[in-house]
Amino acid sequence: MLIDIHCHIDLYDNPQKIISDCNNHDIYILSVTTTPKAWEFTNKICSTNNRIKTALGFHPQIVSQRYEEIKLFDELLPRVKYIGEIGLDGSYEFKVSFDQQLSIFRHILKSVKQDGGKIMSIHSRNAAMFVLEELKLSEGIPILHWFSGNKTELDKAIQQGCWFSVGLPMIMSKKGRIIISSIPKQRLLTETDAPFNKYKNNILMPWDIELIFPELSHIWNISIEESIEIVFSNFRKLLTTI
Ligand code: MN
């Protein structure tokens, strides 16, 4: 059984086709969204496949244009078990909105805490320390998606109980492989972050996540089958936490 814990199904050209094609694969998917407005429709189409769940998200790169959607976020929150994509982006092009990002992220974490905690898929590009500071007071399970922080930040994240979701671009880079080898095996999940990522010039499909296992089994020094089993058992454990 495969796991894609961070996939933007609604952003494919034909999401319904992807959702129906997923029936031909043994895969569980967390379909993350980037704005609260996208949740209702995405959840509706994904609900046709009971192995796909839809997360309520508010992507840090677009919060400044859609600030007012935070009200909708709070309205929808009691209906969901999964949150994402949320977080902070400290990259040069998004620095200008960092204060707004921070206020939205804080608001979301507070709302999630009041609602009893959720599983959260979190973006932390160039902002890992800020994200980890905010998470200290949060409730639920944070999954750091495509983590790219330094060693100090990684150690802090592990110490704070964060989980990690890793994908093909990450495992194909040297820096990514070093991070992956330091992540505790029992806190690792797999993700495509599709359709943003390509592999050998093709847009990734959720089931392409199986391509990560030869690499992962190499890093872990175990068989491909054992690696698949570890990630699946992590996923099952995650579901029992909330
Ligand atoms: Mn994403």
Q: Where are the domains of the chain?
A: 2-239
Predicted confidence at residue 198, as pLDDT, reads 83
| pTM greater than 0.95 | yes
pLDDT tens by residue, 91-119:
999 999 999 999 999 999 999 999 999 99
Distance 123 CA to ligand 1 centre (A): 7
CA of 85 to the centre of ligand 1 (A): 6
DSSP-H helix ranges across the chain: 15-21, 36-46, 70-76, 98-114, 128-135, 151-159, 168-172, 174-182, 212-220, 224-241
For the segment 235-240, the average pLDDT, to the nearest whole number, is: 96
What pLDDT is recorded for position 26?
A: 96
Terminal CA-to-CA distance of the chain, rounded, Å? 21
114-135 pLDDT, tens digit each: 999 999 999 999 999 999 999 9
In CATH, the number for domain 2-239 is 3.20.20.140
Q: Is 165 helix (H, G, I), strand (E, B) or coil?
A: strand
Q: What is the whole-number distance in angstroms between the Cα of residue 63 and the centre of ligand 1?
A: 14
CA of 165 to the centre of ligand 1 (A): 11
Is it the case that residue 60 has pLDDT exceeding 90? yes
CA of 7 to the centre of ligand 1 (A): 7
Q: What is the mean pLDDT of residues 200-213?
A: 94
Helices (H) and strands (E) in the chain, counts: 10, 10
For residue 59, name the pLDDT band (cuts at 50, 70, 90).
very high
pLDDT attached to residue 200: 82
Residue 39 has pLDDT above 90, yes or no: yes
Closest by CA position to 130, among listed 151, 106, 111, 107: 106
CA of 8 to the centre of ligand 1 (A): 7
CA of 31 to the centre of ligand 1 (A): 10
CA distance 83 to 55: 5
**Greatest C-alpha distance within the chain:** 49
Q: How far apart are CA 221 and CA 159, in angstroms?
A: 24
Binned at pLDDT 50, 70 and 90, residue 201 comes out as: confident
Pairing of strands 188-190, 163-166: parallel
Average pLDDT, the chain: 96
CA of 202 to the centre of ligand 1 (A): 17
pLDDT band at 197 (very low <50, low <70, confident <90, very high): confident
Residue 63: predicted pLDDT: 94
Token pair, residue 213, equals 């296992």
Q: Would you call the peptide bond into 85 cis, given omega within 30 degrees of 0 as the criterion?
A: yes
Q: What distance in angstroms lies between residue 133's CA and the mean position of ligand 1's atoms? A: 21
Average pLDDT estimate for 142-167: 98
Report the separation in Å between the CA atom of 207 and the middle of ligand 1, taken as the mean of its atom positions. 16
CA 61 to centroid of ligand 1, rounded, Å: 10
CB-count burial class (<10 Å; 0-12, 13-18, 19+) for 184: exposed
Residue 77 CA, ligand 1 centroid: distance in Å: 20
Distance 138 CA to ligand 1 centre (A): 21
180-199: average pLDDT: 95
Strand partners, 190: 166
In the structure, ligand 1 is a single-atom ion and the residues with CB under 5 Å from it are 85, 193
